[in-house]
Amino acid sequence: MDKALRFRTLIACLVLVAGLSALSGRLLMLQSWDRKMTDGMTPGSFQVNRSIPAQRGLIVDRNNEPLAQNRPLATLVADGKHLKNSVITQKAVLYNYAGQASDWALLEGKARRDRLRQIKRDFVGKMKREQILREHLVIATELIGRELNLPAGELLEKIEKGRMRIVLKKDIREDDARRVEKMLSENFIQGFGFERYEKRYYPMPQLATHIVNFCNAEGKPQGGIEKSMDEYLRGKDGFRTLKRDQNGLVKLTASAAVNPPRLGKHVKLSLDIGIQSVVEEELSLVCERYKPKHASIIIIDPQTGDVLAMANRPHYDLNLRENVQKAWSGFAWEGVYEPGSVMKIVGMSAALNEGKANRESSVHCGWGKINRPGGVRVRDHHAYGFLSFDLVMAKSSNPGAFLFSEMVGSQMFYQYLRGFGFGKKTGFLLPGEISGFITEPKYPQNFASATFGYGLSVTPLQIAMAYAAIANGGRLLKPRLVKSVIANNGREVQSTPVQMVRRIISKETARSMRGALEQVALVGTGRKTKIPGYRYCGKTGTAWKYIPEEKRYNTDRYALTFAGMLPVDEPEFVCVVTIDDPQQTDPDEKIGGGTVALPVFARVAARVAARLNITPTEPILEGESLTFN
C-alpha cells in the first residue's frame, strides 16, 4: 500500500472516530444533562410527584361536637404542554375509533391488537398532527363534561384560550374526582389531572364565629383558634409518585410510591355547643330589636375558668364569609367600654375584705350628691339618705359606692381594681385582646369616678372573670378556651390546667358579696325579673357613652351590662350580657341595664340551667314563667 493510500485511510478513520465520538457525546448529553429537555420533546418512561395534602385537625367542643372539619376536594387542571403532544394523545383517538365498532367489546388479545393496527394504518396514521390534537380534545371534553355535568363547549373554549396550566373546575368532590380519573385512564386521555386539597368546612357556621374563625381559599388560617392553634391543627403534606408507561402515558390510578401525609391534631375547646346555641339565639333577638353597635354574651364556669359560651355581634357566616371586614373583631375581648355600675363590686368588696364595713354598715348618700375638696362631685340618680351596704348595691347608688370605697382609700382601691384583673389582659388565648385602661389614681375625681365605673375602660371578658372570682370564693382565674389537644388515635397529647392568677378576696367576703348582689334581684334594679326555680344574683350597669368628637357624655346613648350568676350559694355559671349603644326603638321604653340586658340574662340563665341540669333552689309555682320589667 503506497503512502498516499495509507494517508487517505488514516484520515477516513480519524473522521469516522471523531464523528462517532461526537455522536456518543451528544447521546450522553441527551440521556443525562438534557433529560428534562428530552422529556418535554418526546414521551419517555419517567415519574412525576403529586402532593397529598395533610388533613387538618378538627376543632370540637367539650362534647366532641365538630365546629371545624375538612372536605377533601380537587381541582381539574389541563396541561397545555401535553395536550400539544400528538404522540401521547394519539392513543386516545385510536381507541375512540376502535370503540365505535359494534364488535369491539367482543374482541380480546391478538384480535384487539390487530384491529388497532388496522385502524392506525387506515385512519389515525393518516391524520395530521392538528387533527389528532383536536380529536383528542373533543373526546376528552365530551367525556369530562358528561361526568361532571359541564358543557363540553365551555371546557373546549377554556382549553383553547389557556396556556400551560388551565383550571377547568374547582371544588370537585373526591368521589367525583376518582370517577373521572378512572374514566380518563380507561380512555387513554392525556393532559388532564387533579390537584388535591382539603377545604375547611364549618358545620355550624354562625356559632362562635370569632372564636373559631376560618381558613382562606389557600388553607391559611386567618384568626381565632384556627390561627392560634395552627401548629397543632396543621399536618405535613405527603406525596405520591405517578408512573408513565413506555409511551409517556400517565397512569392516573397507579402510584409507583406513596409517602403518606402526617395528619393534624384535633383541638378540643371548653365551649358547649348547646349553651353556645342558646346565647347566639338570644343575642340575635336582642340585637334585632335594639340594633346596637356591638354586643356580647359570655358564659364562664367559675370553678375552672372555662369559657362555656361566647357570642359577639356583629358576626358573619364562616362558610360564606360575607361582611367579614365589618364583623371581624370579637367584642368580648377586643372591645372596651366604660361599664358603669357593674364595677361597684371592686370598692365594696375591698371594704368588706379589709374589715372596714359589713353588710349591716350604712352610709349617708347625701340626698343625691356628695362633694369633696378639690372639686370632686359624685351625683346620684335618686336622692337617697342613709343606705345599708346591701341597699347601696341594690339601688345602685353612686355616692354609696364611693363612700364604701373611700373607707379603704384611693391607693387600696386601685390595688383591688388591678387585683380583680382590670387594666391588664386576662391571658385569653386568642389574638387581639385589649388590656383596657385605668385612670391615674393621683387625681381625686378619677378615683371617685372609677368607684362607680366611669373614667376607665374594660372588656366584657374582664368583667366576666371578675364576677367569676366572686362566684368561686375569691380566686381570679385565667379564662380557659382550649381544654386539650388530641392525636388521631384519640390520645390526649396536651391539656390545659386550671390556672389561678391570684386570690383577691376571702371566701367569706365572696359569700357576703353574693348575698349583697342578690338584693339587686330581690329589691333593687332587677326586682321585676324572676327566674322560676332559681335564686340568682348580679349587678346592672347603665353607663352614658362618652363621645370623643363632642368631648362630652351623651345622656341619650348608653353601654348596658348585666353581670350575674346562678345559683346564689354555689354558682355553677357566670353570665355577662353587654349591649353597646342600643337604639331607642320605643319612645316610651326606658333604656337601661335592668330593662334591656337583665331580661336577656334571665332567658339565657333559665335555658343554661336546664341544659346543665342544675337542681332548682326555689319551688316553682304552678303556671309560673319568666317575668320581666
357 and 493 fall within a common domain = yes
Is residue 100, in this structure, part of any structural domain at all? Answer: yes
240 and 383 fall within a common domain = no
Q: Give the span between the Cα atoms of 456 and 466, in whole angstroms.
A: 15
72 and 162 fall within a common domain = yes
252 and 305 fall within a common domain = no
408 and 557 fall within a common domain = yes
Instruction: For residue 547, give its domain range.
Output: 273-315+335-611
Is residue 37, in this structure, part of any structural domain at all? Answer: no
Is residue 445, in this structure, part of any structural domain at all? Answer: yes
Average model confidence (pLDDT) across the chain: 87
Q: Is the dihedral of CA 116, 122, 123, 127 positive or negative?
A: positive
How far, in Å, are 113, 239, 388, 528, 530 from residue 594 at the CA level? 88, 61, 21, 9, 12
79 and 211 fall within a common domain = yes
pLDDT at 258: 72
232 and 288 fall within a common domain = no
Q: Give the span between the Cα atoms of 383 and 220, in whole angstroms.
A: 59
Q: Is the pLDDT of residue 507 over 60?
A: yes
With a pLDDT cut of 70, the percent of the chain lying above it is 87
284 and 253 fall within a common domain = no
- Summarised one tens digit per residue, pLDDT across range 539-574 is 999 999 998 888 899 999 999 999 999 999 999 999
81: confidence class by pLDDT, cuts 50, 70, 90: confident
505 and 539 fall within a common domain = yes
Is residue 27, in this structure, part of any structural domain at all? Answer: no
pLDDT at 16: 67
Is residue 209, in this structure, part of any structural domain at all? Answer: yes
Q: Look-up: residue for cell 390526649?
A: 492
Is residue 619, in this structure, part of any structural domain at all? Answer: no
Q: Give the span between the Cα atoms of 366 and 363, in whole angstroms.
A: 9
Domain of residue 152, CATH code: 3.90.1310.10
Instruction: Give the 3-state secondary structure of 495-542.
Output: ECCCCEEEECCCHHHHHHHHHHHHHHHHCCCCCCCECCCCCCEEEEEE
| Burial class, 297, CB count within 10 angstroms (exposed 0-12 / middle 13-18 / buried 19+) | buried
Q: Give the span between the Cα atoms of 186 and 19, in whole angstroms.
A: 46
259 and 299 fall within a common domain = no
Prior bond of 567 cis (ω within 30°)? yes
264 and 279 fall within a common domain = no
Q: Is the pLDDT of residue 249 over 80?
A: no
Pairing outcome for strands 573-580 and 552-566: antiparallel
CB-based contact 350:409 (threshold 8 Å)? no
Which residues is 480 bridged to in the sheet?
306
pLDDT at 531: 93
Q: Is the pLDDT of residue 46 over 80?
A: no
pLDDT at 456: 95
Radius of gyration of the chain (CA): 37
How far, in Å, are 134, 211, 378, 482 from residue 271 at the CA level? 58, 10, 41, 9
Is residue 9, in this structure, part of any structural domain at all? Answer: no
Pairing outcome for strands 362-364 and 307-313: unpaired
What pTM does this model have?
0.81
Q: Which of 163, 153, 180, 203 is nearest to 78 (CA)?
A: 163
50: confidence class by pLDDT, cuts 50, 70, 90: low
Q: What is the mean pLDDT of residues 353-373?
A: 95
